[in-house]
Amino acid sequence: MMEMAEKTGKVYLVGAGPGDAKLITVKGLECIRKADVLVYDRLASPRLLKQMKSGGEKIYVGKLPDRHTMKQEEINQLLVDLALEGKTVVRLKGGDPTIFGRVGEEAELLRRNGIYYEIVPGITSAISVPAYAGIPVTHRDYASSLSIITGHESPDKLDHSIHWDKVTNATGTLVFLMGVAKIGYISGQLIKHGRPPETPVALVRWGTRAEQETLTGTLADIEAKVTAAGFQPPAVIVVGEVVRQRPQLMWAEALPLFGKRIVVTRARSQASELVDRIEELGGEPYEFPVIETVMPEDAGKKAAIASALGALEAYDWVFFTSPNGVEFFWRHLAELKVDIRGLHRARIGAVGPATAAALAERGLVAEELPARFQAEGLLEAFGPRLEAGQKVLLPRGDLAREWLPAKLRELGLEVTEIDTYETVVTGEDDIELLRLLEEKRIHAVTFTSSSTVRNFIGILKRMGLEDPVAALAGVKIACIGPVTEETAVAAGLTPGLLPDEATIEGLVQELCRWNESTRVR
């Protein structure tokens, strides 16, 4: 047994999986969430970094344009130094750390320095990337064995590390990792040592991610196809009869949002529905919440809320204009210990089905929904029943438009407005988002309110982007409704997607129609 240094931390050598953030293991995710420091490279999904606890430190050790890549020996020593400071460290590595991941070198130095560590396996790209391309690496009719081989070497080194005479026919399926640049040499060696020239081959680039791209051919023609297509690394190479399964089994590429990375700017507490739908439909959501909804702190606002909720029985109407309005209304009822039954004589109006659903969850049935899911729709639906002298309660956010209360007052109604929640700017500086924008790897941005538009532009400027509008050129701008669209236009953006229904599902379906129209057939 090695002797452990006193008061040292612990290092978790974690496999992050092939790229899709949800392909990390449960244990791997737990490690990230408890880490004090996360050491990662470009192969780790940016979405995993957002799982860190507040105050956690992120250290990038991959390639950057302005500096050399950190050498492996330097990374090894970094892990030691951080652990000796007493920190819980996660070294996040793409795929599985034990498959060409150099985890042995990292673990060896940790052991020599008396530092506890764990190796947390990950889903290797050798199996998962072909699966996302519709290629099972084994199949009862085609292959019952598998070899995983490095392709990331010069021909001389490949000949030294690979016994071609043994490897070529050792297993039914051969998987080469990182061998695109050597595909001609690899295919030539396999033919030379006995694989038929017509053996199927597939190259899957950036598998499980929005950039996933697959090229198929045979050992005889794959080099020419790679050259003609300008097919670039990184990619997994699959050699064998299992490649013939792709036309029948490919599934990821058939999903409606395949190939699209979509930024979700909603508050984190509300983003899950949109994020989940994008994922279900094959897109890659990138969460970048730019707003946060919080309870008011101002004493005057609190007093106004207490006064309004203390007189619930006086209202003829209560209009809710968002799910947030419903949620925070109930928070204030609970905090002030006010009984909802005080609204027994009031009629309840809701803007949009999501707001109505939030009310229904709490046992209140709203009047019929307006045709337009915005404030104007309320007057269209309820106008004939609104009478001068009636009392209206409007529990809303601090950034709500003044259009509705102004119109109600014009009709002679007595309106009480309360700011039940406040919308504040959030959003940590995110170097990964800036990098993705610079590399034109963001395909769309969704905005679900005017404040998300304003805050998104403001945060990009805060992060050092001088001209956010120019950076978003070529990115599809999707707005949930016309008011949000007007704000986007005023900010200099060119909205391209506007659903017929101002709902999350309407927004998702509009994204699907757009992606369908851009697919290359």
Q: Which of 34, 53, 63, 71 is catalytic?
A: 63
3-state helix/strand/coil string of 449-470: CHHHHHHHHHHHHHCCCCCHHH
- List Cα–Cα distances, 468 to 260, 335, 443, 480, in angstroms: 20, 41, 15, 21
Backbone angles phi, psi at 382, to 5 degrees: -110, -5
Let me know if 2 is a catalytic residue.
no
Question: The tokens of 386 are what?
Answer: 């609104």
CB 412 within 8 A of CB 388: yes
Q: Which of 27, 50, 87, 178 is catalytic?
A: 178
Question: The tokens of 329 are what?
Answer: 């209304």
Q: Which residues pair with 14 in a beta bridge?
A: 92, 120
CA distance 178 to 182: 9
Let me know if 178 is a catalytic residue.
yes
Helix (H) or strand (E) holding 326: helix 323-336
User: Nearest-CA neighbor of 423 among 448, 401, 398?
Assistant: 398
Helix (H) or strand (E) holding 425: strand 414-425
Q: Which of 41, 221, 316, 398 is catalytic?
A: 41
CA distance 108 to 92: 17
Exposure string of 417-436, with b = 16+ CB inside 10 Å and e = fewer, is: bbbbbbbeebbeebebbeeb
Question: The tokens of 209 are what?
Answer: 């991610």
Residue with tokens 């990950």: 122
CA distance 301 to 309: 12
Let me know if 52 is a catalytic residue.
no
Question: The tokens of 228 are what?
Answer: 């003609």
- List Cα–Cα distances, 406 to 250, 314, 359, 415, in angstroms: 56, 20, 25, 9
CB 449 within 8 A of CB 485: no
Residues annotated as part of the active site: 41, 63, 178
